[in-house]
Amino acid sequence: MRAQIHFKYIIKVLLPQIKPALTTIAVLSIAYHWNDFLTPLIYLNSEEKFTLAIGLKFFENSYGSTQIQMLMAVSVIAVIPLIVLFVVAQKYFVEGITMSALKG
């Protein structure tokens, strides 16, 4: 027997089933890389290319005493894109939970 996989079957049958899982993996991967501290600190040499996590640490160390109110304000601004991403992808999270629920 020949094993042929037609792309229309993949698109119409398989893709709707794995869309919630792929969305979850994408959101978690983006959140991991957005908050990554150590890897950019090792590989990047230019301060212009540093991530927000490194920028927050430099902001904390740039003054003699840490200004907590300023640090928290910048932290909230740094988290806003992740919150927006989660709100946009929340539909797929709920869909994945609903599809995986036991029916009985």
23: tokens are 């969305």
Q: What is the pLDDT along the chain (104 residues), one digit of tens a residue?
A: 445 667 777 778 888 888 888 888 999 899 999 888 888 888 988 888 888 888 888 877 666 677 788 888 888 998 999 999 999 988 887 877 777 665 55
Instruction: Give the containing element (helix H, strand E) for 90.
Output: helix 68-100
Please report, as a single letter, which amino acid is at residue 97: I
Instruction: Give the containing element (helix H, strand E) for 20.
Output: helix 15-34
pTM: 0.71
Strand locations in 1-104, DSSP E?
none
Domain boundaries, the chain: 19-100
